Amino acid sequence: MQSTSSRVVILGTGGTIAGTAASASDQVGYSAAQLGVAQLVAAVPELAGVPLEAEQLAQLDSKDMDHATWRALAQRVARHLERDEVAGVVVTHGTDTLEETAWFLQRVLAPRKPVVLCAAMRPATALSPDGPPNLRDAVRVAREPGARGVLAVLAGQVHGAAEVQKLHAYRIDAFGSGEAGPLACVEESRVRMLRAWPEGDALGLGLVQADPADWPRVEIVTSHAGAGGAIVEALCAQGVDGLVVAASGNGTVHHALESALLAAQRQGVAVLRATRCVFGRVIPVAGQALADAGGLNPVKARVELLLRLLAARLSAGAPCPPRTSRAARRT
């Protein structure tokens, strides 16, 4: 990979890409987030001579991703993107919540430079780890002229934040973009475009400046055979601010669960429907009382609803309320 004057900042957050196992043949019984980002860069010979900066922002298994890390990541990414000499930012991340982090960053920043998330399905100690080639490709995409938006680069494919999903539990080609397909492919260090780079307006860092402990609470419930409303009632009693229902088919919800969701909505809880199907989206039907998530899957719909509630709070100039039950708020 040839050097240019454009720099790439690599922010490490942990994940399987930084994981280690006692045996090189063990690809599932490993410990995530063991190696530092500088070690990950050193393991990719093709990056030698490329102008890079490596910074450890967090060190966690992405199943444990939290709002405080999201806020710190958004702030740090934004700061680096403001630098003229920085072409783009790469974030090493775990695979379990990569799609959620991607959508959070896209909605908050909608960057005009590329922010590329990369990850691995195998630990760094595996016989044939997928982390090094994914990191190499991510840096290549971060330096691609004209690239923009929050992207994910895995197994030679470039995905957009809105579509990327983890579709398989352990294969190295675990990620896809559903019916939309990938944005591009990385072939022999060349980026071949398939679709346009992501567009969008940034909600802005001001949206997430509040203490994450005071951010709205948004949870996901699932519609299934025999579903009831008790979990919704319990969450409302705890003071939940928003609910996403992972609905069946084209956004259909079991009648007992739907009744509880409608009651929660009347109490002031924001509710969105997203389909639990991997392919397709909820097609809106006139007169439906529960809004749909606009094609987002349930975990991204939760991020979206969280940000909408933060935006509404900010526009109203309202302070973050203390954590009390919704019943207590009504009294």
- Active-site positions read 16
SS3 45: helix
Q: Which residues pair with 247 in a beta bridge?
A: 275
Nearest alpha-carbon partner for 17 in 135, 128, 100: 135
The b/e string for 27-44 (b: 16+ C-beta within 10 A; e otherwise) is beebebbbbebeebbeeb
SS3 266: helix
Q: Which residues contact 188 (CB under 8 A, 6 or more apart)?
A: none
Query: Contact at 8 Å (CB) between 218 and 301?
Result: no
* Dist. CA 207–CA 97, nearest whole Å: 21
* Dist. CA 291–CA 155, nearest whole Å: 35
Please return the burial class of 324, using the count of CB atoms within 10 Å of its CB with bins 0-12, 13-18 and 19+.
exposed
Nearest alpha-carbon partner for 8 in 55, 69, 42: 55
